Structure formats: C-alpha cells, structure tokens
C-alpha cells in the first residue's frame, strides 16, 4: 500500500522552532524590561521621596511656629514644581490634619491619622528616614510616605548670657507629621506605551526575520528537497538517473553517496542480468533468455510475414575430448567453439548455449538459401578447427539441425523439438553436416503425440493431476529400508495412472521438465513432513532433471520447501543421471556443492549406462552411486556384470561414496550384491512402489536370501 505524504515539513518545523524560541526570548525580555523599569522607577521615587519629604519637613515648620499668611506659599510653590507629587499633608502631634496641598486633582483624605500610623511614626524617633505607609487608594501607582517633624532647642536656665562654647543640651520637640503622596502612573503609562511600541516593533521584526529565515532555509535545503524525486525513483527500482550536487559540503556528501549507490545498483543489475541471462562458461545467452528471444521472433514473423530460422548445433566429438583429456579441457573446447559460432553469424543474429555441448542459433529475416550459406560456413569453420590440449589434437566437427520459422503457428518448444530432430537426422547421416527439418509420417505422428502429452502435462500441473509413489531402498546388511525413492505418476481418464516413461520425454522436449521437477520437490517435501510424524528417520530420494540446473534456482527451491515443511536437509537425497551430471558439469558441480553445504545429499542415477567416466566420481560432490539396472538383472549368472559391479563398488568406496543397485528382482541377485560389496538394493524383490511408504514387517537378512536361493535352486 502506498504511503501518503506526511503533513509535517522540515523547513516548517525549523522555522516554527525558531519562532517559538524568539517569542520566548522576546517575552522574557519584555517581562525583564518591565520589571527592571518598574523597579528603577520605584527606587528613584523612593530616593526622591526621601529628599522631598525632608525638604517639606523644613518647609512645614512655619505651619507650627508662626501665624503668617504666606506660610503656605513656599510649600505650594515647592509641591507644584514636581509633577510626581500628588499631595502633601501636615498633621498635628495628635494626628489631626493641619494643612494639605494638591497640585492637581484633589484627593479625598482622612481628617486624622490612625493610631496605628501614629504609633509607627512616633517609634521612628528623630531619624531622617521616611516611614512608608500602605497605599491609601486602590490605585497601585500611588505611594504614601510620612515622617515626624521635630524641632530642636538648647537647654538654658536663664534667658541671657548663653555661652555657645559650653556643652549645652539639645531638646527635641515633636511638632507634627508630614505625609507625602507620590504618583508614578505617568511613568507606568509611558513605560507601557514604550513597551507596547517596542513589542509591536519586535513582533514585526520577528515576523520579518521568520519570513527571511523561511526563505533562507528553503534556499539552503533546496538541494536536499531536490533529492526527493531521485529517492522515489530509486525506491521504485529506477536507476537511470544521476543527481546534481550543490556547493554545500553536506549535500555534496549525500549526492555523492546517492550517485555511488545508483552506480553500484546499475552495475549489480548488469551483473545479475548477465548471470541470469548468459551462460557462465561461454558468456553466450543462456537457454532461458534464448527462449524469450524465440517467442519475440515468432511474434515478429507472424506480424511481418518474413521468415527466420532456428539452428540446433551439436559438437560431434565433445564426449571423446572430455573422456580423453578431462572436463577442464572440455570447458575450453566449449569456449572456443562458442567463439567460432559467434563470429560465424551476423550481429543481429543470436547464439546461445542450450546445454552441455549443444548450441542454438536464431537467424532473423532470412530466406532458406541464406540459411544454407550460414550453415555451410559454420560446418566448414568447425571442420577446419583443431583443438589442442595436453599434447593431443582433436578435430571437432558439428551437426546442425535447421527449422524455418515461416508462421506463428508453432510454439518455441515445438520449433526446438523439430530442430533437435533435424540435428539427430544429421548425425544419423554421418555427422559433420546440416539438415533441414522435414516431417515424415512417423515424425509427424511422434510430434502430434508429444504435443498431446505436453498439453496433458500442462493440465496436470495446473489441476494437480500428478501422483507420487514410494519405493523402498534397503540396507543389504540389515534388509531394512533406509530411503524411499519418490516416483512420479500422472492421472489419466478413468483414474488410470500413467508411468513417467510415457510423458517425461515430451516434458523434456517441450521444456516442461523444470516445472515438473518443482512440482515433485514441493509435493514430496509435504508428504515427507507428514510421514515423518511416525518415523523421524524417514528420508526420500527425488529425481531431478538437468533443466532445473539451468532454468531455475534449485538451491532456493530446495531451501524454501525444507523450511516450509520444517524438514532437516539430511532427509533429502537428490538423484541426477550420469548424463545430466556430465553435460552440465560446471553448473551442476557448483550447485551440487552449494546444496550439499545446506545438508542435502546427492546420488548419480543410472551410473554405467552413459559416459561411465570414473573421473566424474572425483569431481562431483555426490554421496551415492546408483548402478544402472542393465548390470544388475543378470548379475547372478553373468561374470562380466559381476566384474563391472565389483569395480564400481570398489571405486565408490575409494571415493567415500556408497552404492545402490537398481532392479533387484530376486534373492540370488540380492546375495550377490552383498558379496560384491554393494551397500543398498532397490527393486521388486525388496519392495514395489506403493502409494505410501511403509517399513517392512520382516527384514530381508542375507541368511534368508541365501535360503531362498538354495530353495529356488
């Protein structure tokens, strides 16, 4: 599911954070300014108040000592000189109001001081310090201070003859009290106005800075924002782009890393594409990719009406080279032959390694006469080519089967089958030649039959019409089953089961073997997991074709199904025929080694019926050798077969491998196998294929086999 874009923005959050920090700093600054300014005003008023009340103390003495009419004038003139003074009042020693003056608006005042204030003022003594009073009004900007008015006189017994140099006593007399009211509301109003104007200016400046910061951050982060689309493309798997860098050190590092990643991914994809679509030994296109090209060519021919050609090339002496100088030399021969084929066609044509020593070539937009010229040239080039290795010189001619693609009626598998038939016909006629496909009556019938089987196989894969049976493989020493070979059957009409010999050749011819192999692996592991609930030592052997080594990820298929069914890898033995092992020696050896590391084991099936080269027993990491039944069916009487089986058994033991004999039909053969050193037996004598694996109730010990043999004799 596609994620919706988040509403949050990195630039928005940075600007918002900056704005919040700036607002916090601004608020703290305003609060600090207000507090310090208020404190400064109050402190100044306090100092001014101390000075003013001291001077009003001196100016107010005439109120208590003279009856002159102008005794108030000096006080009024003084008070009017200071707008901060709201009022001044003078009280008698008893607290009665003597005189008051208001420079501006009259303020209602008490007619006398309270006893509490009188007590506080009286306790102040002759100190010059003012005595603070509680605010007289609800207006917090009004402050009242007061102090007693004292007069001093010298003490003398007479009225005359005072000696000023003498130490005379001073008498202090309380004549009254002075109260001063101060109003600093004007300062507060001005302060509020200034702070308001300053705040508005600060807010305007802050908004301007915020806008400028947003523009700056967007400009600074623009190179980072430009990475958004490339990253989206990269997330979609698109790597056909490069990212331009900016002058910022951090952005340069990011873009360099992104460009390096894109380059690495492109290189990885190129290598993966090369590995997935090309043969690792020759570098030619592999079988799978060639099939895709063939499909496209068939569609092209169908649309254009032109003709193309499919060539199936087989090296005539490849097996002889392999057996003589080894598979390493055979690999070098394949590489050199691939170069000859590549240079013998046009640039627009395609050559692939089909498998083993077989190659396929697709010639596009050609007529039959052009195809003959190409085939003649290829046959001549390889006829003249001499392969040198280890002091040996080999002539390696080829046989070529050709089929013309003139319509889109045939499938790729059918075309390959026809080209293969033509190649086989070229070999039958003496090799070192090319042969165009010409359908005879028998071939047409065989082709029709194979097409019918291919359709049935596809239906069986789609509708799950395959069935697996199990045949025991017993330990010759104990007679007890150790493995069960999984055998494939197909359901036909009337619930009849068709043996594999009837449909597997068509599956191989029409490129369906990989899907069949995968079906067997998938269903056999499910069955094994089910039956291991009753027998934890149960193990299966599975037959796989050579196609799965080239067309699919065998390791991934095995690992996935083992994990899905919680099976130990040691419970699976994979059987491959000797021909498959040799024809796919490079690919097979590597994959067998990897799967063996996983814990699975391998067996070479039908050993002795094909290449019969003991060299492969040393190079292939297999655990079991299944001796072909052609050496077993007459083992009781045929000395040559006995010699061959004994040599295979001895070679197997020398290479730490164990042997399994197929087609064991009686006790005499069973006993002979024991005497020849063979480890395991498989055949109708020890157990027929059945719908489910079951342990034998009675083992087949060697002694029993001997008795059965004597009785039979």
pLDDT class for 126, splitting at 50, 70, 90? Answer: low
Token pair, residue 545, equals: 């074709």
**What three-state secondary structure class fits 159?**
coil
pLDDT class for 466, splitting at 50, 70, 90? Answer: very high
pLDDT of 168 strictly over 60: no
pLDDT class for 309, splitting at 50, 70, 90? Answer: very high
Averaged pLDDT for residues 672-687:
93
Task: Determine phi and psi for 421, rounding to 5 degrees.
Answer: -60, -40
pLDDT class for 707, splitting at 50, 70, 90? Answer: very low
pLDDT of 161 strictly over 60: no
Question: How is the beta sheet containing 434-436 ordered, strand by strand?
Answer: 350-355, 358-363, 308-315, 398-405, 434-436
**What three-state secondary structure class fits 683?**
coil
Of 91-95, 339-343, 594-598, least confident by mean pLDDT is: 91-95
Do the beta carbons of residue 406 and residue 301 sit within 8 Å?
yes
Look at 485 and 431; give whichever has higher pLDDT: 485
Record the pTM: 0.51
pLDDT of 23 strictly over 70: yes
Do the beta carbons of residue 150 and residue 172 sit within 8 Å?
yes
Q: What is the C-alpha radius of gyration for the chain, rounded to an integer number of angstroms? A: 56
Averaged pLDDT for residues 96-108:
75
Averaged pLDDT for residues 572-595:
76
Question: How is the beta sheet containing 97-101 ordered, strand by strand?
Answer: 97-101, 85-91, 170-183, 142-154, 131-133
**C-alpha distances out from residue 621 to 21, 576, 585, 588, 616, Å:** 71, 12, 11, 10, 9
pLDDT class for 680, splitting at 50, 70, 90? Answer: very high
pLDDT value for 709: 43
Q: What percent of the chain has pLDDT over 70?
A: 77
pLDDT of 669 strictly over 90: yes
Q: Which of 151-165, 573-587, 661-675 has the highest mean pLDDT?
A: 661-675
For tokens 């501006």, name the residue. Answer: 104
CA dihedral 424, 427, 428, 431 (to 10 degrees): 160
Give the pLDDT confidence of 614-652 residue by residue, as tens digits: 666 777 788 999 998 989 999 988 999 999 999 999 988
pLDDT of 405 strictly over 90: yes
Averaged pLDDT for residues 106-124:
68
**What three-state secondary structure class fits 469?**
strand
Of 9-13, 25-29, 318-322, least confident by mean pLDDT is: 9-13
**What three-state secondary structure class fits 611?**
coil
Q: Give the whole-angstrom CA distance, residue 140 versus residue 135.
A: 7
pLDDT class for 1, splitting at 50, 70, 90? Answer: very low
**What three-state secondary structure class fits 415?**
helix
Evaluate the CA torsion angle 634, 638, 641, 646 in order and state its sign: positive
**What three-state secondary structure class fits 412?**
helix
pLDDT of 324 strictly over 70: yes
Averaged pLDDT for residues 78-87:
81
pLDDT value for 6: 54
pLDDT class for 137, splitting at 50, 70, 90? Answer: very low
pLDDT value for 158: 53
Q: Give the whole-angstrom CA distance, residue 16 versus residue 713.
A: 104
Of 128-132, 258-262, 351-355, 526-530, least confident by mean pLDDT is: 128-132
Q: What is the DSSP letter of 690?
A: B
**C-alpha distances out from residue 571 to 135, 599, 648, Å:** 101, 9, 25
**C-alpha distances out from residue 569 to 25, 389, 565, Å:** 69, 41, 11
Give the pLDDT confidence of 414-463 residue by residue, as tens digits: 888 889 888 888 887 888 899 999 876 566 566 656 667 878 888 899 88
pLDDT value for 216: 73
């Amino acid at each position: 599911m596609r994620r919706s874009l988040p509403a949050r923005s990195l630039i928005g959050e940075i600007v918002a954070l900056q704005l919040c920090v700036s607002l916090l700093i601004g608020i703290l600054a305003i609060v600090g300014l207000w507090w310090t300014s208020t404190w400064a005003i109050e402190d100044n008023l306090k100092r001014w108040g101390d000075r003013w009340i001291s001077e009003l103390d001196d100016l107010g003495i005439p109120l208590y000592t003279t009856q002159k009419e102008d005794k108030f004038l000096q006080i009024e003139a003084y008070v009017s000189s200071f707008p901060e003074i709201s009022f001044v009042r003078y009280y008698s020693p008893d607290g009665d109001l003597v005189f008051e003056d208001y420079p501006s608006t009259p303020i209602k005042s008490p007619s006398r001081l309270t006893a509490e204030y009188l007590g506080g003022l009286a306790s102040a003594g002759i100190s010059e310090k003012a005595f603070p009073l509680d605010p007289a009004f609800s207006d917090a900007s009004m402050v009242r201070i007061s102090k007693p008015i004292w007069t001093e006189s010298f003490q003398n017994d007479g009225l005359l003859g005072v000696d000023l140099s003498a130490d005379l006593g001073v008498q202090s007399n309380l004549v009254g009290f002075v109260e001063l009211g101060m109003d600093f509301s004007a300062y507060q109003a001005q302060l509020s106005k200034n702070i308001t104007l300053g705040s508005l200016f600060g807010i305007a400046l802050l908004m301007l800075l915020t806008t400028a910061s947003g523009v700056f951050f967007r400009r600074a982060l623009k190179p980072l924002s430009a990475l958004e689309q490339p990253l989206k493309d990269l997330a979609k798997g698109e790597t056909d782009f490069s990212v331009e860098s900016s002058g910022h050190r951090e952005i340069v590092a990011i873009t360099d890393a992104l460009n390096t990643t894109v380059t690495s991914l492109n290189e990885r994809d190129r290598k993966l594409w090369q590995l997935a679509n090309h043969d690792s030994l020759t570098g030619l296109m592999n079988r799978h990719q060639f099939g895709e090209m063939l499909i496209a060519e068939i569609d092209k021919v169908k649309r254009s009406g032109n003709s193309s050609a499919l060539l199936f090339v087989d090296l005539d002496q490849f097996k002889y080279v392999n057996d003589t100088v080894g598979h390493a030399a055979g690999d070098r021969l394949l590489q050199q032959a691939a170069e000859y084929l590549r240079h013998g066609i046009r640039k627009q044509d395609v050559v692939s390694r089909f498998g083993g020593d077989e190659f396929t070539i697709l010639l596009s937009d050609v007529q039959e006469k052009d195809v003959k010229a190409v085939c003649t040239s290829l046959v001549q080039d390889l006829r003249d080519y001499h392969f040198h290795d280890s002091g040996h010189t080999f002539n390696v001619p080829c046989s070529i089967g050709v089929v013309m693609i003139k319509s889109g009626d045939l499938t790729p598998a059918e075309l390959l089958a026809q080209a293969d038939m033509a190649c086989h016909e070229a070999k039958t006629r003496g090799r070192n030649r090319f042969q165009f496909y010409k359908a005879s009556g028998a071939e047409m019938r065989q082709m029709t039959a194979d097409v019918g089987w291919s359709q049935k196989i596809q239906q069986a894969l789609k509708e799950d019409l395959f069935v697996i049976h199990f045949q025991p493989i017993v330990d010759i020493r104990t007679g007890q089953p150790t493995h069960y070979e999984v055998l494939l059957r197909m359901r036909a009409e009337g619930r009849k089961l068709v043996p594999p010999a009837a449909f597997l050749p068509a599956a191989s011819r029409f490129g369906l073997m990989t899907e069949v192999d995968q079906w067997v692996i998938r269903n056999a592991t499910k069955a094994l997991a089910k039956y291991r609930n009753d027998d934890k030592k149960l193990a299966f052997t599975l037959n796989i074709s050579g196609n799965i080594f080239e067309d699919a990820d065998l390791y991934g298929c095995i690992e996935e199904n083992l994990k899905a069914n919680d099976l130990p890898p040691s419970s699976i033995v994979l059987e491959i025929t000797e021909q498959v092992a040799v024809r796919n020696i490079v690919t097979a050896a590597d994959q067998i080694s990897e799967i063996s590391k996983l814990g699975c084991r391998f067996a070479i099936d039908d050993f002795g019926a094909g290449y019969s080269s003991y060299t492969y027993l040393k190079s292939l990491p297999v655990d079991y050798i299944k001796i072909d039944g052609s050496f077993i069916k007459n083992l009781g009487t045929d000395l040559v077969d006995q010699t061959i089986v004994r040599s295979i058994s001895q070679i197997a033991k020398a290479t730490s491998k164990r042997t399994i004999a197929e087609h064991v039909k009686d006790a005499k053969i069973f006993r002979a196998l024991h005497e020849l050193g063979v480890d395991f037996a498989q055949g109708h004598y020890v157990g027929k294929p059945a719908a489910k694996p079951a342990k034998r109730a009675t083992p087949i010990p060697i002694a029993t086999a001997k008795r059965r043999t004597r009785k039979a004799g």
